[in-house]
Structure 1
Amino acid sequence: MKDKNLAKKVKGLRKRKGFSQEGLAEISGVSVRTIQRLENGETEPTGETLKRLSNAMGVNPEELMDWTLIEDKGFLKAMNLSALTFLVFPIIGILVPLIMWISKKDRLKDINEIGKSNLNFQITWTLMLFLGYIVNAIILGKEFYSTDVVLVDAVISSQRRLIVFFFVMYALNIALIVINTFNIQNDKKVFYQPTVTFIRN
């Protein structure tokens, strides 16, 4: 095969997507033997084979031909740190890293793992933040209608709960972003918890 890089690209992308050769063969309709020969550089893929493999792995044939797994820790750290924009407004802490992730998706080493982990956490964190605010408002409402609680005391208590809650939530988010930036620098796995998986692919 003249294009040795294509063999590496197909094999690398398959592994990045979590497919075995057998699994990719089953989904794409391309035989295992063809995939093996392609990845070993023994044959050149036909247009149809390239199209089937690209569709199975969720990329365009052109992207597969041009695809190179580049290591760029600087961009990964910047994408991770961009979540700190939640300090301006929580939704921005989702949008900025989302835009950065989409711009380089499947083109940088570890970008999908880091991007999805960060985004899933930021979405979860934002929902928890608003849920905590709502719960506190419900508690305040119950205290407001309680004959045993003075309104001023209820408001002060509500404010204290919100301050403590916001402090813990914001400190957790900042700490995880900073820790995971160091993890990226040191080639360690990122860790974001608690997280609900909203983004899978």
Structure 2
Amino acid sequence: MVELFTSQGCNSCPPADELFGELAGRDDLVALAYHVDYWDYLGWKDAFASPENTHRQQAYAEVFGGSVYTPQIVIDGSQHVVGSERANVETAVAAMLQQEALPVGVSISSTSTSLLIRIDESNPVPEGAHVVLVYFQPEQQVKIERGQNAGRVMDYRNIVTSYQTVGMWHGEAMTIEIPKNEMKKKGGRCAVLLQQVDDQGRPGDILGAAQLRGDL
């Protein structure tokens, strides 16, 4: 599971966005890009950014004991690297893939009327884990006209548009069914994360993840 925190207004981010595009195209990863809004003051408002994305990164920073920065890549909710440092990112991703799969099996599938999230039985974790449904746009090109990246035309991948907690998991096998007529209002595609959360609501280790192939 790879999460990129990026901004169209940050001149350090384009190399990370390009590298992330490669990761997003792989079948062995779930990769999501969260655009943050705290660089908008530099002269270009990132149309994909949201306070919710910034809040998620800030919560990670509290857990990791540092401050927010871009570009940042978080791997499996448990470690982070500078997203533009290709060698370090590739090393961290390769190390992740050499380990066993994420500890809890998660799948996501679609019928004509609903989305089905299935989570396997496994050892429970303290306080349970959140089932997080993430909506994203698979690809979009943007011409940046102002700010630090003025003149660039950028191709962005797996752009998170919103996310919500849709359930709690306590170790038992479970299925969550979500009506598709509500989801289509979001558009695009979706992924599901099974993630530990501490007593302050901050994100922790990702226990499982899956991505729906194809649009809603």
Q: Report the TM-score when normalising by structure 1.
A: 0.23
Report which of the two has the higher share of helix. Answer: 1
Q: Report the TM-score when normalising by structure 2.
A: 0.22
Report which of the two has the higher share of strand. Answer: 2
Higher RCO structure, 1 or 2 (CA under 8 Å, sep 6+): 2
